[in-house]
Amino acid sequence: MEDMNTDSVALQLSALRKSFGSTVALSQFNLDIASGELVTLLGPSGCGKTTALRIAAGFEQPDSGVVRLRGTDITQLPAHKRNMGMVFQNYSLFPHMNVLGNVGFGLKVRGVQASVCAERSAAAIERVRLGGMGDRYPHQLSGGQQQRVALARALVIEPQLLLLDEPLSALDAKVRAELRDEIRALQSDTGISTIFVTHDQDEALSISDRICVMKDGEVQQIGTPREIYFKPANNFVARFVGAMNEIPSATVPDGNRPPNSSMLLRPDAVTVCARGEVGSLDAVVTGQHFGGSTTMVRLRLELSGVVVSAQLLSRSINLSVGDKVGVVLNTNEAIVEP
Amino acid sequence: MNRRKLWAKLVLLIVGTFYVLPMLAMARFSFQRVPVIKLGWGTILKGWTIQPMLDAVTSSRFLDAAWLSVRLAVLTAVLSMVLLVPTAIYVHVRLRKARPFIEILSILPYVVPPIALVVGISGAMRNIVPSFIASPYSLVPFYVIISLPFSFRSLDIGLSSIDIKTLVEASRSLGAGWMRTIRSVILPNLKVGIVNSSFLTFAVVLGEYTIASLLLKFTLPAFMAESQGNNPQGTFTVGLLLLVVSAALLGVMNRFTRKKGAVVPTVGI
């Protein structure tokens, strides 16, 4: 994003550093978010992604560094003056207010006329497909519905930035997938620049314009989902995003790699064929994990004993444990690590 | 399941009996004009009267004492809330690490004998504000301290039952400043805690005798101690009346706090 036009930058986090006691949560953290862009902060627990989001929201003060919103330094600006909508991981609806009250809260605070407030709140509730539920209280809603209300509440104030702090992690798989798509659609419709925090790589890959992979408070790579998946900047990113096979180079009959090195290969770069085909390695099927449209097949290479996973289309395979097959490793897509 | 229900009912019955039986005995002693030695099944319907209660509650000394106790109870409850609600909120939102320390501090009055409290504070105050101890309202600070274990803990439990940090952050992210957040988000959700805390403080003050007696203030318990000699039945009727009023108040508060919206557990009582 170094070449991002200054005018198009919605939020700029520059050289942020934050520590809690002796623990460094963020170290030299830089991130620019373009107008209308959805950027995901992805990383394992404790990598600093939530800290970065909370600094952007104004709930934490960085030890050093600058936060700019549309070019204006807001590092010292209190959270309630930043005009950012936020959705939290744990349902954050006000329990004593009904849906309409919750959604209208931000407008009321801004002194919007009662009739306009009611109209805009109702429209926002309709937009998240909860029409007719305005008089319900949070405890009368499911988790998914509560997060929809939280989303409507954050969007109705027309924020300059939308901050989503693992909003789907408390939901079950089906609702999670539905709401993920809805969030993306709403974000695209409204064009509000968004930061989405998650530790779920699938979520990050499917929802983001760009992903910022973090580890130990530092940015490992910023790129589009395809870049992150197919061209990981380092071994951490390669291993963290998507499944990965680690294969000793000596296993593969290709003399161009250092003998003690390993190569990292995605399961979708491993194909299964009949034994004896040119370029294939003999293998035995040791297990398979059906995942709907695709199946993850585990194979043991006979010569080296190394176990690899192959992601194959479920419809195209008919394998059983113990089958003797051939395996082709598409080494052009491999990453070599010393 | 049925056996468990049976056990639960049995335990409830035993506890209920343990609680109700002394009150029934107290009621008989208070409202029956029958010599104590003759109180038994044979006299259960004889000599019931409310005269001792009327004698007690219509005396000017009772009215003065009761009015003072009510004023002290209200003032103590108000002062406690003014001091403790912001403290409890601050501790929960900003200073969670200090919570164990504050908790210990709040139960300190349990271990400080009232006599030590009175001697210490009155000794110090006599030199600073000599008129302080002379006023009946000098009891209020003492009462705030001795009711602390109840008042603070009720608020603390009330705040623990909601995710206060997230609610505050949600409110602030929507543009509300601290005052607005406290007024519109925290206080409505802390209603149960505040009501419980105020009620317990009220009850503690109505029943406090030691400090009032040491400082020579004529509160309701002081009146009861005084009138025990000349109208023991009247004294007991007042005691019983206090219990009934407290129970009724508790019922009203419970109904009031469970009106609508969040299902917040009743805490502290």
**Per residue in A227-256, pLDDT tens?**
999 888 888 998 898 888 988 877 776 656
Nearest-CA distance B166 → chain A (Å)? 6
**Per residue in A103-135, pLDDT tens?**
999 999 999 999 999 999 999 999 888 888 999
Other CB atoms closer than 10 Å to residue B235's CB: what's the count? 22
Res A129: pLDDT: 87
Half-sphere exposure (CA, 13 Å, Cβ side) for A7? 0
- When CB atoms are compared, the residue of A58, A139, A157 closest to B174 is A157
* Chain B 174-193, residues with CB within 8 Å of chain A CB atoms: 174-177, 180, 184-185, 188-189, 191
ipTM of the prediction: 0.84
- Secondary structure element (H or E) that encloses residue B140, with its range: helix B139-146
Q: What are phi and psi of A91, to 5 degrees?
A: -50, 125
Q: Which of B93, B161, B174 to mutate to test the interface with A (most CBs of A within 10 A)?
A: B174
Which pairs with CB-CB distance under 8 Å and at least 24 residues apart come from B185-188? B185/A94, B186/B89, B187/B85, B188/A94, B188/A96
Nearest-CA distance A85 → chain B (Å)? 6
Instruction: Tokens for B243, please give them.
Output: 């219990």
Res B266: pLDDT: 37
Chain A nearest-CA residue for B188: A96
Single-letter amino acid, residue A307 = V
- Which residue shows structure tokens 């505040």? B194
Residues of B with Cβ-Cβ distance to A79 under 8 angstroms: 169, 172-173
CB distance B172–A59 less than 8 Å? yes
Which has the higher per-residue pLDDT, A67 or A175? A67
Chain A nearest-CA residue for B186: A94
pLDDT-derived band at A26 (thresholds 50, 70, 90) equals very high
CB distance B180–A109 less than 8 Å? yes
Q: What is the pLDDT along chain B (269 residues), one digit of tens a residue?
A: 688 899 999 999 999 999 888 888 888 888 888 887 887 888 888 888 888 788 888 888 889 999 999 999 999 999 999 999 999 999 998 888 888 898 898 888 888 888 888 888 888 877 888 788 888 998 999 999 999 999 999 899 989 988 898 999 999 999 999 999 999 999 999 988 898 899 889 888 988 998 898 888 899 999 888 888 777 888 888 888 888 887 887 787 777 666 544 444 333 33
CB distance B189–A78 less than 8 Å? no
CB distance B173–A78 less than 8 Å? no
**Per residue in A139-169, pLDDT tens?**
999 999 999 999 999 999 999 999 999 999 8
Mean pLDDT of A175-179: 88
Residues of B with Cβ-Cβ distance to A110 under 8 angstroms: 175
**Per residue in A38-97, pLDDT tens?**
999 999 998 999 999 999 999 999 999 999 999 999 999 999 999 999 999 888 999 999
Per-residue HEC secondary structure of A193-260 comes to EEEEEECCHHHHHHHCCEEEEEECCEEEEEECHHHHHHCCCCHHHHHHCCCCEEEEHHHCCCCCCCCC
Residues of B with Cβ-Cβ distance to A105 under 8 angstroms: 171, 174, 176, 184
Q: Which of B173, B178, B180, B190 to mutate to test the interface with A (most CBs of A within 10 A)?
A: B173
Q: What are the residues of chain A with a beta carbon less than 8 Å away from any beta carbon of chain B?
A: 57-59, 78-86, 88, 90, 92-98, 105-106, 109-110, 137-139, 150, 153-154, 157, 163
Residues of B with Cβ-Cβ distance to A95 under 8 angstroms: 162, 189, 261-262, 264
Backbone φ/ψ region at A120: left (φ over 0), alpha (ψ -120 to 50), beta: alpha
- When CB atoms are compared, the residue of B175, B177, B189 closest to A95 is B189
CB distance A90–B166 less than 8 Å? yes
Per-residue HEC secondary structure of chain A comes to CCCCCHHHEEEEEEEEEEEECCEEEEEEEEEEEECCCEEEEECCCCCCHHHHHHHHHCCCCCCEEEEEECCEECCCCCHHHCCEEEECCCCCCCCCCCHHHHHHHHHHHCCCCHHHHHHHHHHHHHHCCCCCCCCCCHHHCCHHHHHHHHHHHHHHCCCCEEEEECCCCCCCHHHHHHHHHHHHHHHHHHCCEEEEEECCHHHHHHHCCEEEEEECCEEEEEECHHHHHHCCCCHHHHHHCCCCEEEEHHHCCCCCCCCCCEEEECHHHEEEECCCCCCCEEEEEEEEEEECCEEEEEEEECCCCCEEEEEEEHHHCCCCCCCEEEEEECHHHCEEEC
Say how far apart CA B182 and CA B94 lie, in whole Å. Answer: 14
Q: Are B238 and B228 in contact (CB under 8 A)?
A: no
Burial of B64 (0-12, 13-18, 19+ CB in 10 A): middle
